[in-house]
Structure formats: structure tokens, C-alpha cells
């Protein structure tokens, strides 16, 4: 997406809103056309505006995760139909004929630039936004917590370190970082590299990529 020109004829600063399925997604800047909306989630919802969609799980893992009905989430057939219906680019591990607008995520380039630090879909999106030279990155609906911190029994706490590391990298490079009220994520002034489990980064047949 090319930013609209400003009154001076210069391209407007690129702003990317990374929107997950958490509660603060409702606060995302859907009504502000200056923000691109990069979204991901298997939840049963459809953002009012989408610039790019991301589904970076290996399909075998995705089928397992969405094999049965869960409150608020799509089943795999429902989610697959949703992906097929999207008119925006759909970033995946590879292109799929069944998803007309699927785009291969540039994994090799991102790994070369940032190393194996990825533990979640959100971390891949932050890295891509940095690599594309955006001017602002905001996170809504993304606030990984442990099972003792959030309702339900899913533990996402191991995703936090990589997200915070990459947000710190973004800020070091002069990118504005925007977080909504109430999230517990922190942006370190001195980000420390976080190495992910190697099995999560690689070919689809042996890696989930994103938890």
C-alpha cells in the first residue's frame, strides 16, 4: 500500500496497525485511513477494514487447532472459506491455489535480517513492518499472557519476549511504537536478542512457524 501524498506532495508516513484477536482489537484505528490494517486471528470476527491478512501456521497444525468448535473461534472449514473470501493480500507460508490472494511471506529475507527470534504471528508482522521501513507500528488485540494471568487455560507468555524485543528494535530505528491502554507489553530501551525454538522456523512440514 502506498501512502497518500501530503499537501506538500510527499508520501505520508506509513503507519501499520497490527491487529490480533484480543479484546483491544476494538480500539484499533479502523476509521483512520492513515493506518494500514495488518490483521490475523481465527476468531469469529471480521475487521471493518483490512489491508493485509496473515495466516502463518502450517496447515497441518491449523487443521488440528481448529478441528473442533470452540467458543468464539471458527472451525477449519469456516476459517478456510473466510481466507478464500478476502480481497486483500493473504500472507501465508506459501501460496495456495485455493486462496486466490495468497502471498508467500518473505521468511528467508526476514530471518537474514532479524535472526531466529520469532515465537508468534505478531512477531513476524512486526519484523516485516520494520523491514518495509514504516514510520509507526501499533499493536491492538495483542497482549500475550500466561494461563495464570488470563481467562482460559492457554498460555501465551512465551510469545512476549520476542514481541518486546522487536518493538525495542523498532523504537531504536526511530519507528514510533503505539500500544493501547491496559496492555502489559513493554518496549525496552535496550532490546536483547531472543532466540526462538528452531523447530518453529523453517519448512512447513516440520515447523508450525507461529504458535
What is the pLDDT at residue 196? 77
Asked if 168 and 146 touch (Cβ cutoff 8 Å), the reply is no
Read off the pLDDT band of 205 (50, 70, 90).
very low
Q: How far is CA 36 from CA 12, 40, 144, in A?
A: 12, 13, 22
Of all residues in the chain, what percent carry a pLDDT higher than 70?
Answer: 83
Q: How far is CA 173 from the centre of its chain?
A: 20
Mean pLDDT of 46-69: 96
Residue 43 pLDDT exceeds 80: yes
Asked if 208 and 59 touch (Cβ cutoff 8 Å), the reply is no
Q: What is the pLDDT of residues 1-38, one digit of tens each?
A: 555 555 556 778 999 999 999 999 999 999 999 999 99
Asked if 86 and 96 touch (Cβ cutoff 8 Å), the reply is no
What is the pLDDT at residue 11? 78
Grid cell for residue 149: 494471568
Residue 102 pLDDT exceeds 80: yes
What is the pLDDT at residue 4? 56
Task: Give dist(CA 85, CA 115) in Å, integer.
Answer: 33
Mean pLDDT of 125-141: 98
Judged by average pLDDT, the poorest of 2-6, 29-33, 91-95, 170-174 is 2-6
Mean pLDDT of 196-208: 48
Residue 115 pLDDT exceeds 90: yes
Output the pTM of the full model. Answer: 0.87
More confident residue, 194 or 163: 163
Q: How far is CA 29 from the centre of its chain?
A: 16
What CA dihedral angle connects 160, 165, 171 and 175, to 10 degrees? -70
Read off the pLDDT band of 203 (50, 70, 90).
very low
Which residues does residue 10 pair with via DSSP β-bridges, in sequence order?
A: none
What is the pLDDT at residue 106? 97
Amino acid at each position: 500500500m502506498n501512502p497518500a501524498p501530503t499537501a506538500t506532495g510527499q508520501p505520508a508516513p506509513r503507519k501499520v496497525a497490527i491487529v490480533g484477536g484480543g479484546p483491544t482489537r476494538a480500539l484499533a484505528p479502523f476509521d483512520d485511513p492513515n493506518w494500514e490494517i495488518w490483521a490475523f486471528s481465527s476468531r469469529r470476527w471480521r475487521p471493518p477494514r483490512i489491508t493485509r491478512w496473515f495466516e502463518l501456521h502450517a496447515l497441518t497444525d491449523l487443521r488440528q487447532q481448529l478441528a473442533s468448535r470452540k467458543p468464539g473461534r471458527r472451525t477449519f472449514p469456516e476459517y478456510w472459506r473466510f481466507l478464500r473470501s478476502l480481497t486483500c493480500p493473504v500472507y501465508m507460508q506459501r501460496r495456495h491455489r485455493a486462496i486466490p490472494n495468497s502471498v508467500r511471506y518473505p521468511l528467508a529475507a526476514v530471518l537474514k535480517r532479524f535472526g531466529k527470534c520469532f515465537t508468534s504471528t505478531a512477531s513476524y508482522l512486526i519484523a516485516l513492518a520494520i523491514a518495509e521501513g514504516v514510520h509507526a507500528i501499533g499493536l491492538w488485540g495483542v497482549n500475550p499472557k500466561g494461563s495464570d494471568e488470563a481467562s482460559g487455560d492457554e498460555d501465551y507468555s512465551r510469545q512476549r519476549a520476542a514481541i518486546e524485543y522487536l518493538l525495542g528494535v523498532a523504537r531504536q530505528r526511530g519507528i514510533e511504537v503505539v500500544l493501547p491502554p491496559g496492555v502489559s507489553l513493554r518496549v525496552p530501551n535496550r532490546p536483547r536478542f531472543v532466540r526462538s525454538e528452531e523447530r518453529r522456523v523453517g519448512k512447513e512440514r516440520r515447523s508450525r512457524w507461529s504458535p
